[in-house]
Amino acid sequence: MPDIACVDLFCGAGGLTHGLIAKGIEVVAGIDVDETCRHPFEFNNAARFINEDVGRLTPKRLNDLFGSAEVRILAGCAPCQPFSTYAQRYDVVGSPRWGLLYQFGRLVESTLPDLVTMENVPSVAKHAVFDDFVETLEKKGYHVHRSIVDCSLYGLPQSRRRMVLLASKLGPIQLVAPTHDRPRTVREVIGDVAPILQGGVHPRDPLHTASGLSELNLERIRASHPGGTWRDWPKHLVADCHRREAGRTYPGVYGRMVWDEPGPTLTTQFYGYGNGRFGHPEQDRAISLREGAILQGFPKSYSFIPKGAPVHFKVLGRLIGNAVPVTLGEVIGQSITTHLRTQTGRTKRKQYGGHLCR
């Protein structure tokens, strides 16, 4: 393998970086405007974190980070909320945050890394900004591969679909084939996590903590069964908003996960029982912050806050829910390393007249 340097834009807590490193790609730096990402990114990945707005990042600064590496990789996931299906119902003109993808394109044009990868929600492909990004890559001579990925086919225990783009100046590139014949289940990944109560915390892992429930919600979760909905409850437990016609179309809230199925797509509010199908399959509580991180592919030992620091559900829910799943990072990393080995082999065969030197 050649000498590689990767810079991770919009790096967050380090999910993409952790997956890339696991597949042999050296990530030299991660850049994010959110300072709370510093500890999880640096502590778990031994890579430099730069607290900076990508829109202000200069080409010279980026080239300095790449250094003299033989292969330079620019990776990143611009914030996906502006491109989500939910946001599109209310934002038809364009969010200012769409410009972050243009900033990504600006840095590609000005530094011309050997490979580029990005990940986002599938609906990003419906927007002109994405078409412009792809057009920029193609005009600069990149071979571009893009596909909608069912992450459960690669071992992520979630029903999560994402748009993955890979681009290379070295030759055609594509995502590796699915690695799993069947999805991994909730039971397989969090079935052995120690039980805790709602509002409780495990004595040896402060991240294994569950939000508290009101008396009403405690009664609701006790009336819920895995895979069921609030429609199964006694009438006195049903929320007023769900009694109205408009609310009847949202059965996916206040639900429990199913042990022997993959979990739902995690959001930044997965720690709240009423925010989706985030109830524990068996215990009367929402899943804990640690369980959410595990469902996102993070190792059970991944540190999100310094030792002794307070646990803030909203902050950590955002870091975990917004992260590129580590499992998907590994898939992207494997695709890149496979591509580099293929291209290196072709270069050698061409150099030695079709015969590898032995």
Both structure tokens of 157: 């225990």
Measured at the alpha carbon of residue 24, what is the angle toward residues 20 and 30, in degrees to the nearest 5? Answer: 40
Instruction: For the chain, state the CA radius of gyration.
Output: 22
Report the pLDDT value the prediction gives residue 98, as an integer from 0 to 100.
61
Q: Choosing from 6, 37, 80, 151, which is the catalytic residue?
A: 80
CB neighbour burial string for 138-162, b if at least 16 within 10 angstroms, e if fewer: eeeebbbbbeebebbebbbbbebeb
What is the structure's pLDDT at 313?
98
- pLDDT at residue 245, as a whole number: 57
Helical (H) or strand (E) element with 299: none
80 in catalytic set: yes
> Residue 306 has what pLDDT?
97
pLDDT of 94: 47
pLDDT along the chain (358 residues), means of 10: 94 98 97 97 97 96 97 88 43 56 95 97 91 96 97 96 96 96 96 98 98 96 93 88 64 90 96 95 98 98 97 97 97 97 66 40
Give the distance, in angstroms, between the CA of residue 335 and the centroid of all CA atoms in the same chain: 17
Q: Is the dihedral of CA 264, 269, 275, 279 positive or negative?
A: positive
